RNA sequence: AGGCCCGUAGCUCAGUUGGUUAGAGCACACGCUUGAUAAGCGUGGGGUCGACAGUUCAAAUCUGUCCGGGCCUACCA
């Protein structure tokens, strides 16, 4: 269909006025005829587009209507042959009702999809949901607990089924909420990460990564609860006060930089002192961290405190090495009475020995330079047990990789054989009354340290310590085997995953290309540059397994296409559950023996799930999942800026690992929603605003408009003031559409005039403005700067249309005869204006644009099936632009003068005046004389005079050379147009109106004769 | 605590490569109109450009520090 040619279909016609006489008005004007009914006022019969929109009630009806006509499918059909743009939905988590952040996210996405579609692309939108992961696992666990069943007692498959049901319950609810926001998408064919197809695809994606050789088994200390025998995620940890022992431990120096130094002898028999609150980690010690920003010294103990209740562990003559700033504290804790600093100490390249070196700990303890070391507390040296701390692990891995990190503690929190002398001892008590209290490990280690003479001092400390938020039991860091994807291993054309990802970051437009905004580009780049290897295994229940078999003899991962194909096929048929429900041998087939392999039962990091959505939702360009995804000109992702760490990040790594390229070409990010003061919204503070509330109270269009007018890349402030303000902007836009609808009543093709330079200057200028605004709107939409597009539209409506063009042309619209060229020209350009306004606004205000469009063209299907109307370059008219700019400046002087006259009670309405306008400049004077300047000023007349004007004339600094003196308009007031005119010029048949009005009334009367 | 980012009128935003008295719309006040009328038009008040210091003949614009806010990490041996 071609909407452009449908103007004959407008509602009503110019001759459909009712013919009743307004007797009340006649009483006021007994001498003359009441011409009111001959005036073409813009009200529409029945007021089908009232200013009070009733959005909260009408929007849901419209949503229903769009669903009924299958708008989504009509859009696809309409755009089938167009170039494709793929917008890929980042899946929200299928848990709980949607909040305002979801609303902002989905509305911004809707802007992208709708503007692309209307810009002439086919932009499909398949919404999705993220279903696996902890939050659902917790909820379900809680539900089971309420039934008196522990998670460990529920079979994995049953537990997973409950998780699936939980997610399934929320998806339709969230979907309806999204629909209510006016989001146009394929709501009947959404994707989920838990569909069997998705689970199979995710598993296959992981197997693809395995084939690159990037997957390896390593280890990492994780938060571990010995009491619950499980690892915990960061979010499951809470910090509570705990009293811990503190110990100062001596590590004898083996060698130091000071070799050959004058102080060598002073240094070489000294010990480095560390301080820790976890004595049990001493067997795991493998290094000591220092900071090159801290000053260290060697201290010799010269005397010891006397009269102590116990024998101190230090002896006169002992030499210890600590940070200069902390030396006094340490020595006092050690009960030394006097001491002497005998040397400086440079820890660089120094090596110490483990205090238990004679008892199975015969290795060197290197000193490592680390940023995490401070001299606020302790000794300035940090005991480093890579199995038992995040910093410890990081610094060790940085220096030595994963080599040499011991597994000193098992899953019950007992020492393993890698902790000689202590094997079997528990860190925490695992049963009985002392559950969760310190086990024998701490004491055993301290006793042994005393025995070997390595303990310098000890004490107790109350501090914040991590606890399980469920059991409230203390946690430990424990090194556990995990699966990783290597970032720095060359695998594709000699490049590493990190390198490929960085190259792809440069290729993708994060805004640095379209707007020059580099913040998102910098942010993702920084993250990929810095991040460690991707830890992809989780010891959890609700997710997709790492579907791999490890050869027991050499630890390699089985790589067999047939096995992989069986796994994929089985999962596609029965979901990821089959991994647990099917005997290993069924997957391994005849070629491999199950007892030779370890079946990995960890599940994949849920970020791997969502990082794989591109693979099963939009697919490869060569194997897309839908026709609308074939060979897109661009693939777009849009999410909140937190997804630099999340979905953007994991999708990039996953896709670069499996396909060598990012899954997207353009990325758009948005900030977070804040309260009116710019503070974070939180339920506990009670400053949240629900999108459902806005929909009920104001209408979702108000929120959509607010989002479109905001700098969405930054945080979005939301409060009553902003919402009210958006409501005002909405009314202005709506009223503009409403006025156009009224002014265009009965407009038909036959009334159109050619759009060329024969038009009056005002119309030439309006077309010129449409051309300018069109460019701004297109550019704004192309670069996702909704604000720029909307700003251009709003300014056009306010400044150009409402305050100028329409105000001036009201006289023409109301009073000219329908056949008048000027009136026809006005209506023709207003028609073009309406056509563009409805199209430009449709992506932002889909409900209102639709309502306006269908009001004018009731048998049209939907405004959303349109594209942005072409705006011919021939409309660009610099002459008209410049002329009108000049005229408006001069007009401003007249308006100013009128205001003064009004204040002085000389006039009321502008039509009572006929200003004298003194213009010095010949060119400007000619411009004023070339048009009906009185018409522009909405006065009954105007006299344009050469000269400076009298001294007391009104002037404006912005318009030098223009001076205005207001004079009352002579003559009588036209009973129809209210203009003052010379009665001698009147048509004798209509003596009380101007000749122009007489012509119009004559035509009116003739039509009714 | 670290990384990245934000901070221009009551609100949402413009402010080009540093260059005269910092702009717009909305809101507010006042006036006009009563033929866009729970509308329309006009006029006006309102900002030490988060603070301080520096570079410069000149800074909202460049640099540094601080304050407030956000996202992401980390939270301590």
ipTM above 0.85, yes or no: yes
What are the strands of the beta sheet with A943-946, ordered from one edge? A943-946, A916-919, A962-965
A507 phi and psi angles, rounded to 5 deg: -70, -40
Q: What is the DSSP letter of A920?
A: -
- The three-point CA angle A868-A870-A875 to 5° equals 130
Q: Measured in angstroms, what separates residue A969's CA from nucleotide B32's C1'?
A: 17
Closest Cα partner for A548 from A534, A560, A539, A540?
Answer: A560
- What token pair was written down for A792? 């251009």
Q: Kindly report which amino acid residue has its CA closest to the C1' atom of nucleotide B26.
A: A725
**Does the pLDDT at position A27 exceed 80?**
no
- Alpha carbon A960 to its chain centroid, in Å, reads 49
**Does the pLDDT at position A862 exceed 60?**
yes
Report which of residues 674-733 in chain A place their beta carbon less than 7 angstroms from any atom of strand B. 674, 678-680, 709-712, 714-717, 721-722, 725, 728-729, 731-732
- What token pair was written down for A122? 């086919």
Structure confidence by residue, pLDDT tens digits, A587-614: 999 999 999 999 998 899 899 999 999 9
CA-atom Rg of chain A in angstroms: 40
Average pLDDT score over chain A: 87
Report which of residues 735-794 in chain A place their beta carbon less than 7 angstroms from any atom of strand B. 735-736, 738-739, 742, 787, 791, 794
Q: Measured in angstroms, what separates residue A71's CA from nucleotide B9's C1'?
A: 44
Which residue reads 């007992």 in tokens?
A: A414
- The three-point CA angle A167-A168-A169 to 5° equals 90
Q: How far apart are CA A983 and CA A990, in angstroms?
A: 10
Those residues whose C-beta lies under 8 Å from the C-beta of residue A196, and which sit 6 or more positions away, are: A571, A572, A573, A574, A575, A576
Q: Kindly report which amino acid residue has its CA closest to the C1' atom of nucleotide B10.
A: A721
Does the C-beta of A801 come within 7 A of strand B?
Answer: yes
Q: How far does chain A reach from its first CA to its final CA, in angstroms?
A: 39
Q: Measured in angstroms, what separates residue A885's CA from nucleotide B13's C1'?
A: 24
- What token pair was written down for A106? 């989905």
In this predicted structure, what is the pLDDT of residue A3?
39
Q: Measured in angstroms, what separates residue A737's CA from nucleotide B37's C1'?
A: 16
Q: Measured in angstroms, what separates residue A875's CA from nucleotide B20's C1'?
A: 36
Nearest nt (C1') from A799 Cα: B25
Do A440 and A184 meet the contact criterion of CB atoms below 8 Å apart?
no
Q: Which stretch, A306-310, A377-381, A761-765, has highest mean pLDDT?
A: A761-765
Q: Kindly report which amino acid residue has its CA closest to the C1' atom of nucleotide B27.
A: A725
Nearest nt (C1') from A813 Cα: B35
Contacts 24+ apart (CB under 8 A), A975-982: A975/A29, A975/A32, A975/A33, A975/A35, A976/A35, A976/A38, A976/A39, A976/A815, A976/A1000, A976/A1001, A977/A811, A977/A814, A977/A815, A978/A909, A978/A911, A979/A811, A979/A911, A979/A940, A980/A911, A980/A912, A980/A914, A980/A940, A980/A941, A981/A940
In this predicted structure, what is the pLDDT of residue A264?
65
What's the helix, strand, coil split of chain A in %, to 5? 45, 20, 40
Structure confidence by residue, pLDDT tens digits, A636-668: 999 999 999 899 999 999 999 999 999 999 999
Please say whether the dihedral angle defined by the alpha carbons of residues A602, A607, A610 and A611, taken in this order, is positive or negative. negative
Structure confidence by residue, pLDDT tens digits, A888-906: 999 999 999 999 999 999 9
In this predicted structure, what is the pLDDT of residue A1001?
95
What is the pTM for the complete model shown? 0.88
Does the C-beta of A420 come within 7 A of strand B?
Answer: no
In this predicted structure, what is the pLDDT of residue A115?
96
Whole-angstrom CA distances from A79 to A73, A83, A120, A286, A864 are 10, 8, 8, 64, 12
Whole-angstrom CA distances from A156 to A141, A523, A574, A603, A851 are 12, 39, 15, 12, 52
In this predicted structure, what is the pLDDT of residue A30?
42
Q: How far apart are CA A812 and CA A819, in angstroms?
A: 11
Report which of residues 72-131 in chain A place their beta carbon less than 7 angstroms from any atom of strand B. none
Does the C-beta of A377 come within 7 A of strand B?
Answer: yes
Q: How far apart are CA A949 and CA A943, in angstroms?
A: 12
In this predicted structure, what is the pLDDT of residue A348?
76
Q: Kindly report which amino acid residue has its CA closest to the C1' atom of nucleotide B33.
A: A909
In this predicted structure, what is the pLDDT of residue A458?
79
Query: Binning pLDDT at 50, 70 and 90, where does residue A263 land?
Result: low
Kindly report the bases of strand B lying within 7 A of a protein C-beta atom: 3-6, 10-14, 24-27, 31-43, 69-77
Task: Specify the length of chain A in residues.
Answer: 1009
Structure confidence by residue, pLDDT tens digits, A101-153: 999 999 999 999 999 999 999 999 999 999 998 889 888 888 888 888 877 78
Whole-angstrom CA distances from A236 to A23, A230, A468, A471, A647 are 79, 11, 6, 10, 21
Task: Name the strand (E) or helix (H) holding A704.
Answer: helix A700-708
β-strands A603-604, A537-538: how paired? antiparallel
Report which of residues 894-953 in chain A place their beta carbon less than 7 angstroms from any atom of strand B. 895-896, 898-899, 902-903, 908-910
Does the C-beta of A512 come within 7 A of strand B?
Answer: no
3 state SS for A596-628: HEEECCCEECHHHHHHCHHHHHHECCCCECCHH
Q: Measured in angstroms, what separates residue A225's CA from nucleotide B74's C1'?
A: 21
Q: How far apart are CA A588 and CA A879, in angstroms?
A: 80
Q: Which stretch, A211-225, A287-301, A392-406, has highest mean pLDDT?
A: A211-225
């Amino acid at each position: 269909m071609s909407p452009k040619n449908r103007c004959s279909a407008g509602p009503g016609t110019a001759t459909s006025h009712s013919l009743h006489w307004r007797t009340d008005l006649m009483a006021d004007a007994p001498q003359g005829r009441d011409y009111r009914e001959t005036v073409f006022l813009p009200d529409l019969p029945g007021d089908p587009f009232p200013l009070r929109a009733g959005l909260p009630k009408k929007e849901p009806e419209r949503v229903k209507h769009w669903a009924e006509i299958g708008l989504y499918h009509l859009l696809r059909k309409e755009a089938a042959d167009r170039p494709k743009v793929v917008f890929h939905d980042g899946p929200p988590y299928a848990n709980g009702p949607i909040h305002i952040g979801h609303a902002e996210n989905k509305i911004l996405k809707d802007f992208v999809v709708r503007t692309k579609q209307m810009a002439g692309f086919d932009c499909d939108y398949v919404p999705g949901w993220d279903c696996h992961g902890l939050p659902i696992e917790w909820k379900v666990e809680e539900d089971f607990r309420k039934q008196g069943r522990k998670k460990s007692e529920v079979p994995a498959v049953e537990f997973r089924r409950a998780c699936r049901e939980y997610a399934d319950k929320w998806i339709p609810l969230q979907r309806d909420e999204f629909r209510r926001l006016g989001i146009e998408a394929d709501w009947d064919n959404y994707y989920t990460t838990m569909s069997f197809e998705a689970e199979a695809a995710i598993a296959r994606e992981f197997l693809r990564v395995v084939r690159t050789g990037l997957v390896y088994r390593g280890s990492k200390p994780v938060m571990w609860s010995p009491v619950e025998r499980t690892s915990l995620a960061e979010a499951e940890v809470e910090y509570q006060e705990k009293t811990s022992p503190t110990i100062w431990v001596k590590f004898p120096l083996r060698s130091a930089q000071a070799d050959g130094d004058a102080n060598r002898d002073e240094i070489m028999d000294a010990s480095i002192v560390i301080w820790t609150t976890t004595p049990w980690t001493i067997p795991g010690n493998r290094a000591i961290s220092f900071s090159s920003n801290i000053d260290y010294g060697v201290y010799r103990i010269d005397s010891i405190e006397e009269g102590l209740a116990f024998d101190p562990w230090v002896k006169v003559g002992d030499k210890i090495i600590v940070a200069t700033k902390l030396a006094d504290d340490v020595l006092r804790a050690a009960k030394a009475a006097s001491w002497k600093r005998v040397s400086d100490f440079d820890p660089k390249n120094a090596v110490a020995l483990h205090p238990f070196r004679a008892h199975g700990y015969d290795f060197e303890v290197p000193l490592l330079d680390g940023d995490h070391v401070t001299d606020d507390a302790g000794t300035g040296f940090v005991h480093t047990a890579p199995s038992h701390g995040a910093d410890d692990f990081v610094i060790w891995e940085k220096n030595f990789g994963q080599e040499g990190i011991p597994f000193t503690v098992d899953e019950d929190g007992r020492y393993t054989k890698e902790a000689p002398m202590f094997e079997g001892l528990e860190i925490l008590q695992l049963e009985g009354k002392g559950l969760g209290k310190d086990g024998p490990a701490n004491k055993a280690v301290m006793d042994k340290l005393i025995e070997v003479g390595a303990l310098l001092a000890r004490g107790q400390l109350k501090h914040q310590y991590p606890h399980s938020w469920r059991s409230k039991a203390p946690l430990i860091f424990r090194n556990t085997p995990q699966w990783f994807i290597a970032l720095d291993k060359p695998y594709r054309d000699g490049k590493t995953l990190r390198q490929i990802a960085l190259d792809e970051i440069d290729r993708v437009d994060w805004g640095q290309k379209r707007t020059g905004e580099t913040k998102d580009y910098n942010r993702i780049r920084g993250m990929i540059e810095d991040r460690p290897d991707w830890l992809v295994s989780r010891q959890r229940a609700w997710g997709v397994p790492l579907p791999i078999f490890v050869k027991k003899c050499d630890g390699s991962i089985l790589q067999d296409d047939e096995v992989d194909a069986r796994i994929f096929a089985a999962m596609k048929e029965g979901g990821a559950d089959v991994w647990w429900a099917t005997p290993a041998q069924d997957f391994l087939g005849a070629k491999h023996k199950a007892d030779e392999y370890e079946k990995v039962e960890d599940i994949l990091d849920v970020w791997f799930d969502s990082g794989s959505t591109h693979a099963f939702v939009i697919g490869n360009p060569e194997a897309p999942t839908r026709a609308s995804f074939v060979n897109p000109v661009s693939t777009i992702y849009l999410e909140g800026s937190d997804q630099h760490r999340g979905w953007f990040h994991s999708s990039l790594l996953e896709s670069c690992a499996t396909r060598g390229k990012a899954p997207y070409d353009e990325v758009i990010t948005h900030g977070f929603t804040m309260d009116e003061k710019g503070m974070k919204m939180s339920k506990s503070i009670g400053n949240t605003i629900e999108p459902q509330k806005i929909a009920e109270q104001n209408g979702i269009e108000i929120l959509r408009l607010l989002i479109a007018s905001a700098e969405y890349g930054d945080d979005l402030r939301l409060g009553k003031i902003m919402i009210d303000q958006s409501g005002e902007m909405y009314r202005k836009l709506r009223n503009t559409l409403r006025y156009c609808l009224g002014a265009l009543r009965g407009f038909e093709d036959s009334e159109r005039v050619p759009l060329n330079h024969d038009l009056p200057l005002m119309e030439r200028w309006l077309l010129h403005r449409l051309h300018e605004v069109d460019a701004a709107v297109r550019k704004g939409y192309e670069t996702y700067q909704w604000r720029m597009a909307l700003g251009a539209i709003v300014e056009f409506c306010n400044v150009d249309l409402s305050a100028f063009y329409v105000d001036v042309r009201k006289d023409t619209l109301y009073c000219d005869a329908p056949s008048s060229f000027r009136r026809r020209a006005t209506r023709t350009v207003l028609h073009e204006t309406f056509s563009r306004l409805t199209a430009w606004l449709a992506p932002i205000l889909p409900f209102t644009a639709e309502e306006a469009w269908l009001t004018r063209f009731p048998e049209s299907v939907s405004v959303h099936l349109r594209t942005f109307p072409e705006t011919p370059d021939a409309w660009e008219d610099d002459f008209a632009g410049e002329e009108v700019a000049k005229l408006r400046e001069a007009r401003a002087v007249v308006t100013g003068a009128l205001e003064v006259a009004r204040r002085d009670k000389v006039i009321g309405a502008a039509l009572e005046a006929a200003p004298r306008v003194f213009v010095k400049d010949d060119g400007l004077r000619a411009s004023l004389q070339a048009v009906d300047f009185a018409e522009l000023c909405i006065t009954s007349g105007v006299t344009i005079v050469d000269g400076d004007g009298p001294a007391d004339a009104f002037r404006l600094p912005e318009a030098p050379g223009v001076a205005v003196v207001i004079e009352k308009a002579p003559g009588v007031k036209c009973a129809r147009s209210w203009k003052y005119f010379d009665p001698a010029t009147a048509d004798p048949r209509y003596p009380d109106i101007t000749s122009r009005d007489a012509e119009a009334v004559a035509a009116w009367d003739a039509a009714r004769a």
